[in-house]
Structure 1
Amino acid sequence: MFEALGDKLQATFKKLRGKGKLTEKDIDAALREIRMSLLEADVNYKVVKTFANNLKEKCMGEEVLKSLTPGQQVIKIVNNELVALLGGESRDINLADNGPTIIMVVGVQGSGKTTSIGKMGNFFKNKKNKKVVFVACDIHRAAAVDQLKVLGEGLDIEVFTLDKKDAGKIAKKGVEYGKKIGADIIIVDTAGRQHVDSEMMEEAVKVKKAINPNETLFVIDSLMGQQAVDAAKAFDESLEITGFILSKLDSDARGGAALSVTYITKKPIKFSAFGEKMEDFEPFHPDRVASRILGMGDVLSLIEKAETIYDEKEAKKMEEKMRKNSFTLEDFLDQMESMNKMGGIEGLLSMLPEAGKLKGMAISEKDLIKQKAIIQSMTIKERQNPNIINASRRKRIAAGSGTKVSDVNKLLTGFEQSKKMMKQLNSGKMKFPGMKLPFM
């Protein structure tokens, strides 16, 4: 999501790093570029103005102007200001002291509200080992209740419904039911509209009074930019929301909503939802997001993703193979499947400091099926030593797997690039203390 903004900011910093000393003129030029990059990312004008003023004040200090590494000092300042802009520290959900934690979810129609509820339910059920109940209170949008039922069925989460036209009464009965069956987390879905209107807001206020939730979370659509921020502000004024779920974080949106909403409302982003899978949901960490925007990597998130899928014995076995240079194409396919579960190669590389991206290396399920067919069409000798695969062998493999020679070429190129990357990781240039990733 922040790729375009990150690229522009990193280009600005590259110019600063090339200078032994910075003058006031250099800093002014850099701040002008940073300001334009943020405006182009659809960040609120007032936010940009405050951000730029804070940067200028801190960058003009002796710590930067007289530093031996002034470029690095500026990056450090920008990083700190970005973290502050995104909310400072991570904020956990306010769990109830006694009984279930009630989470009311609100948002405009089309923001990804119901899908985000499904992802949040899955997060609490499978990652936090909590018993979750959904309460369906969106009585206006056609098939909204059915959509939540389908999500609940797929996640093995019970969905409370009631054939009534009073959202407040449904919410109250749903919470009572959740308490009765011993739920730890009760997530209440509410109605949305295309735009903020008084009828929707009155109903939301009624639901909130009926259930007195521990959290009132607004789902903010990353694609909507400043419109989403305006809607969030309106909801906050009526409902006193406690935080945000940032949806569609994997989109090509410019990032203005994420970089504006906390500053405007003074309420934190608590979760981010991304991707198509129910697992694509995680707590929002301002420091990690700022680090990724500035190209400094996000190793902590990478390790957390790895820990959910990697097997320690397999990791050690793979490490030994890499050390002995016996990593084969079959091993490569296993690692591609693991990487895909963690967000794909490009997603992983974006978390590595200054690793860059392997363009064109994103692996989809369809790609994996194709790659598996190609590898299975090779002889054992070819899988163990791809260097022997010449032009005629490539034609035979392509014909046997029902693919093109270009597909075989792409697989072999990807294999060599992956070996180089893993060799670099194991050489110590990109070490992660106390942790071996499954592809290392």
Structure 2
Amino acid sequence: MSNLDPYEYLLTFTPDIDERFTLLKQAMKTHVDTKKMVIQVSPSEDIMKTLENTLEKTKEAKKTCSQFEFAIDQTIAALDDMKELLFETKKQCYTDEVNITTTNNTTIQQLIQLEQKRFEEELQKNSFRKAQLQTIFQKKETSLNAKLMSLRDKANNSMGSSSVALNPKEGESDSNNKEQPSEDETTEIEDMLHVMDNSLKSSTSQENEKSDEKDEEEKSEEDDEPKKKMKRRIRSRKALLRQRKMTPISLYDESILTEEERKQIFKWSGRRVGNIVFDSEVNAMGRNSKMFNDGVRDGKGFVLCIDDKLKNRFGCVITEKVEREATWVADENAFVFVLERNGEKDEKKFDIKKKKASNAFLVGKPTQSGLFAVGNDDIRIMRKYKGKTICFCSQDTFEYNGEKKALCGKVHPEKFELKRLILATLEE
């Protein structure tokens, strides 16, 4: 079906579901009306003839039963075809929505940049109306920003999981070994959002370069003193405007990690917490989603912060670069930490055991059910399946100094319920 246009096919397609159910009911009635096969022979009857009659009846019963079974299979097949058609139609509709949203948001950004350019030109003509012009521009900017479209809910509710386990524990059964629906549409959305973000960055960069070139030209001009003073004032105002230049749209709320938490992680690691590159409330975590994998491989080191439904906030810091998926990362400076316990501040750091530093972190492939493991399952989070995410903590690879249930208040085989997963870069 991937070679066909699902919209066109759906317009010309006449479902035969009703016909299938009618045939199914007819076959079932015929099957039920067929008498049950019981061999009953009395001494007075001709045994041979009775058995021959029974054989004929079983032949007919077998035929009606096979017809009923075939009708069931045909109905299931029709439903499967309809499901596949609707899934492809939804996928196409989803892609259309991404295109609409991307076009809308890019257009708005371009309009804002044009309004800003108009504001700067007007300011050069009449610098004494600065406050009024700025108020007008801010009003237009706010009005345009209100028209921005979001795909947050769609990305968050995407289906997806996996049937391949990431280093499963012995004796732990994998109940998800059925083929799961693809998350290609979610991955496509994330890729398009990246394209939109990069185009906006490029556009903003070009505007800044043009503005800088103008300033250089103005500096080289030899005018009289009054004109020079006026141009200096204009340059000063332009510098202020560039400082407040709108940045490209971000999917993430950087305040999720508070300033105090960022400082504490800096104190522990000696490295600054950078930008958030993955948020489970924005990005998909199911099968074939790549945003998390791309995030851990982007740069040298990262911070994972986990919120569970018992108001615990904990995570890990990995200081080495993740080169490959499904391969252990060695890191003697890795550690796990706790920031909050039951909603209360409780900051603790647990360093990795030197003899186990070769197994600091592992990220699963997008096709696998395991999202990542910190140490030998000191923290394990699986990819989302049917709206649920399997997560648990063990205590093996890090020094917990005798403290039990140190991270999430539970240890395997107990599981914790994930509320939110945040991934941020770790800057040098």
Q: TM-score range by the shorter chain?
A: under 0.3
- Greater per-residue helix proportion: 1
Larger radius of gyration: 2
Give the structure, 1 or 2, with the largest relative contact order (CA under 8 Å, sep 6 or more): 1
Taking structure 2 as the reference length, what is the TM-score of the superposition? 0.24
- Greater per-residue strand proportion: 2
